[in-house]
Amino acid sequence: MKIGILGFADDLNIVSDDEESVAQSIVALINEAKTIGLNLNDNETKVMELLPDNNQVDNVMIQEYKFEKVHQFTYLGVSISSNNDWFIELNSRIIKAEKASFLLIKYLKSKLFSRKIKVHLYTAISRPTLTYGCEV
């Protein structure tokens, strides 16, 4: 049984190779949160199985909490799907980079800025938007 917990600010991702371990981790999280006066928001908490050919989507009950089981969720701005399909994430990145580039277009076409500054704008804004999370 391996359990991994990824956390950043108020975003947590519990990863395990079996369902029972995840349930135990969630129970421990609920209990620890209660000791400091926090509650788990079951409307914002999702469960996803990374199993091939698993199309059954049921809600998961742990204690009094009912968690929705999903095929896709977004963690720190990166879309993750249950079948490891990165097509959705790639399209999302391309669309976000196009939007960022569109916002820069008047500066990139302007004769007031040197080519060096225009390249810097691209490398500082458009390219990071496109490549964010690609190392996943």
Query: Residues 72, 81: contact at Cβ < 8 Å?
Result: yes
Side-chain-facing half-sphere of 18: CA atoms under 13 Å: 5
d(CA 51, CA 93): 25
The amino acid sitting at 11 is: D
pTM of the model: 0.64
Helix or strand holding residue 109 (H, E)? helix 87-109
What was the pLDDT predicted at 124? 94
What was the pLDDT predicted at 113? 94
* For the chain, domain boundaries: 3-76, 87-131
What was the pLDDT predicted at 2? 66
Query: Residues 130, 97: contact at Cβ < 8 Å?
Result: yes
pLDDT, block means (10 residues), the chain with 136 residues: 74 79 86 90 81 66 84 83 83 90 92 95 91 75
What was the pLDDT predicted at 109? 93
